[in-house]
Amino acid sequence: MKSLHILYHIVRADFYERFRRYNVLIVISLVVFLTTLYLPPQDVGRLAFNVGGYRGIYNSAWVGATVTILTIIFMSLPGFYLVKNAITRDEDTKVGQIIATTSLSKVQYIFGKTISNWVFLAAASGVGMLSAMGIQLLRGESLKISLSGYLLPYLLITLPMMALMAAAAVLFESIRRLRRGFGNVVFFFLYLINYWILIAMTILLLQNTAGVSGPPVPLIPEPTGALEIFRNISAAGMELIPGHPSGLDLGNPFQVYGQIGTFVWTGINWKASSILGRLLWVAVAIGIASAAAARFDRFDPSSLKVRSRNKKAPSRSKPDIHPAQAPDSIRPASTALSASVRHGNRLNSFLHIVSSELRLMLKGQRWWWYAAAMGLITAAVALPGTETRQIVLPVVCVWPLLIWSQLGNREIQNRTDQLVFSSAYPLRRQLSASWVAGIILTLITGSGVIVRLITDGSWSAVLALVIAAAFIPALALALGVWSRGSRLFEVVYLFLWALGPMNQMMAAFGFPMSADRLPVLDFIGSSDASISAGIPLYYALFTLLLLALALIGRKRQIQG
């Protein structure tokens, strides 16, 4: 009973702390917006989730399945990043040091954090499910609310998926190497791999349903649970839709198709094996939380001290310049600035600040990072122009992600903000120097692509890449300044990169990811379609807007 009492208070405290934040409203609003978007009225002629151009009438089964799919696809990943701060927050606020002195065990602490993550994600998903009921009544195609149409997908699909996200977030926080930016990137790619597997299994499912010869769909359930919905809807569509159209698609809710065909879908036919398969993932989540408890160091500072000594050991004969040390980190900029005031050499002063910012950005990078960057430059020059743009360029534009994410928040993270903000011209020189340093870094890593494009005479593609080199650090600056951290940029940029450049790269490999639907997100100009549509010019204007937002946010920080 005492253990349950402890778990209750851990869950309760974390739940209240999280629901007071504005980003919770953003995620819930996103799910409600997507649900409204993917359930368009019949008379507007738009089609979203469909089977061969047909959709189910908006009864509880269809609406519940739609909001479940949207939740597990579009909310589970942001949900992971929302809850991946429980242990980090305790460590940063020094609460962890207090916890380390109590009798609270590692298992109690880790499982308390896991359950609190799960309850939070379950509550946010439940709000989306309740809003879907209102949308069903608003559309008016079926005024009967069937609780089983909403509760069964929520209990058997959404909750197990959210349990996995909750446990994975705690596991990543328990491993110090994965606790911050690097872990965010690793999990994003793991999520993408799972998404690709889901697409491949869906294709096999449609082939089997349509009678096309091919390998059978694996019986082992995938973690999202979407395949269970796809399996039942596809089978029902083959029986109820005239002509037996094939194909199951999330659709394009912005495109007008005209008259939309409908059919009546009564919901998932749950079998005992399907239910056990979904409960299996709850057991997997418990296993992940147990692994996290085994890895958790219970805020023991000894491992961190050992790492710090190892980092400082090679620099005993030469003073080390560390961003967290305020006098050393800003002395080059302030000294150059003072010299410029005395001698009027403002350009040299600005270039010196840019050089200092660039050195700070690159400080601490391991040899393999530079080796990989050189490999990308070499590959870009050696490959033909088409492969360079569609394959190498997207990788080039994600490799420095964790360096870009420092922009706009390094002063806050290293607690040098008061010193930097009180220096002369912190807006006009220091902030702009950070942006220029980010541009230089992007152009250096993309230099191989630029050489190949110039050799091929693709000047429009060169211009698009230069605009991207200005856009990316501007986005990092704006999001870093306003969020006072690096996570928001890492998540937003990874989403933008996956839906844009990576979409184009996967299309080059023949992977069915509907790249032709999202040319507007190809901000690096990896395809001729986006350049012909003038997309880079829109990102040039967006860059100016982001810079203005960064200046406004930094001015508020200085005045506050």
Mean pLDDT of the chain: 81
Q: Using pLDDT thresholds of 50, 70 and 90, give the confidence band for residue 290.
A: very high
* Coil vs helix vs strand at 263: strand
Higher confidence at residue 82 or residue 539? 539
Structure-block tokens of residue 438: 């980010």
Higher confidence at residue 548 or residue 522? 548
Contacts of residue 456, Cβ cutoff 8 Å, sequence gap at least 6: 385
256 bridge partner residues:
46
Q: Is the pLDDT of residue 185 over 60?
A: yes
Predicted pLDDT of residue 352? 87
Q: Using pLDDT thresholds of 50, 70 and 90, give the confidence band for residue 463.
A: very high
Predicted pLDDT of residue 1? 63
Eight-class DSSP state of 49: S
Q: Is the pLDDT of residue 542 over 90?
A: yes
Structure-block tokens of residue 92: 């940063």
249/386 Cα distance (integer angstroms): 29
Predicted pLDDT of residue 247? 64
Contacts of residue 275, Cβ cutoff 8 Å, sequence gap at least 6: 156
Q: Is the pLDDT of residue 435 over 90?
A: yes
Q: Is the pLDDT of residue 543 over 50?
A: yes
Mean pLDDT across the stretch 99-124? 88
Q: Using pLDDT thresholds of 50, 70 and 90, give the confidence band for residue 220.
A: low
Return the ∠ at Cα 272 (arms to 267 and 273), rounded to 5°: 100
Structure-block tokens of residue 192: 């993408």
Mean pLDDT across the stretch 445-471? 93
Mean pLDDT across the stretch 285-298? 91
DSSP 85-153: THHHHHHHTTHHHHHHTSS--HHHHHHHHHHHHHHHHHHHHHHHHHHHHHHHHHH-S-----HHHHHHH
In terms of Cα–Cα distance, which of 81, 299, 92, 110 is closest to 181? Answer: 81
195/187 Cα distance (integer angstroms): 12
Q: Is the pLDDT of residue 437 over 90?
A: yes
In terms of Cα–Cα distance, which of 72, 237, 59 is closest to 139? Answer: 59
Q: Is the pLDDT of residue 257 over 70?
A: yes
Contacts of residue 212, Cβ cutoff 8 Å, sequence gap at least 6: none
- On the 0-12 / 13-18 / 19+ scale of CB atoms within 10 A, 407 is buried
Predicted pLDDT of residue 508? 63
CA distances 11 to 109, 111, 294, 517, Å, are 10, 9, 20, 42
Q: Using pLDDT thresholds of 50, 70 and 90, give the confidence band for residue 137.
A: very high
Does residue 87 contact residue 173 with C-beta atoms inside 8 Å? yes
- On the 0-12 / 13-18 / 19+ scale of CB atoms within 10 A, 471 is buried
186/180 Cα distance (integer angstroms): 10
Higher confidence at residue 11 or residue 314? 11
Predicted pLDDT of residue 518? 63
H or E element that contains 449: helix 447-456
Q: Is the pLDDT of residue 233 over 70?
A: yes
Q: Is the pLDDT of residue 318 over 70?
A: no
86/103 Cα distance (integer angstroms): 19
**Exposure on the CB side of residue 464, measured as CA atoms within 13 A:** 27
Contacts of residue 3, Cβ cutoff 8 Å, sequence gap at least 6: 108
Q: Is the pLDDT of residue 291 over 50?
A: yes
Which sequence spans correspond to the domains of the chain? Answer: 2-304, 326-559
Q: Is the pLDDT of residue 343 over 60?
A: no
* Coil vs helix vs strand at 447: helix
Q: Is the pLDDT of residue 219 over 70?
A: no
For the chain, the distance separating the N- and C-terminal CA atoms, rounded to the nearest angstrom, is: 47
Predicted pLDDT of residue 210? 54
Core vs surface per residue 474-510: b (16+ CB within 10 A) or e: bbbbbbbbbbbbbbbbbbebbeebbbbbbbbbbbbee
Structure-block tokens of residue 361: 């950005």
**245: Cα separation from own chain's centroid:** 35
Mean pLDDT across the stretch 536-546? 94
499/253 Cα distance (integer angstroms): 16
Predicted pLDDT of residue 548? 93
Strongest mean pLDDT among 22-31, 69-78, 500-509: 69-78
Structure-block tokens of residue 502: 């990576």
Q: Is the pLDDT of residue 255 over 60?
A: yes
Higher confidence at residue 450 or residue 31? 450
Predicted pLDDT of residue 449? 93
Does residue 513 contact residue 443 with C-beta atoms inside 8 Å? no
224/163 Cα distance (integer angstroms): 11
Q: What is the largest CA-CA distance in the chain?
A: 83
Predicted pLDDT of residue 22? 67
- For residues 232, 237, 240, 241, the Cα torsion angle rounded to the nearest 10 degrees is 170
CB atoms within 10 A of CB 403: 24
Predicted pLDDT of residue 32? 82
In terms of Cα–Cα distance, which of 16, 284, 303 is closest to 179? Answer: 303
Structure-block tokens of residue 73: 């696809």
Lowest-confidence segment of 105-114, 496-505, 548-557 by average pLDDT: 496-505
In terms of Cα–Cα distance, which of 300, 25, 281 is closest to 167? Answer: 281
Lowest-confidence segment of 78-87, 128-137, 367-376, 545-554 by average pLDDT: 78-87
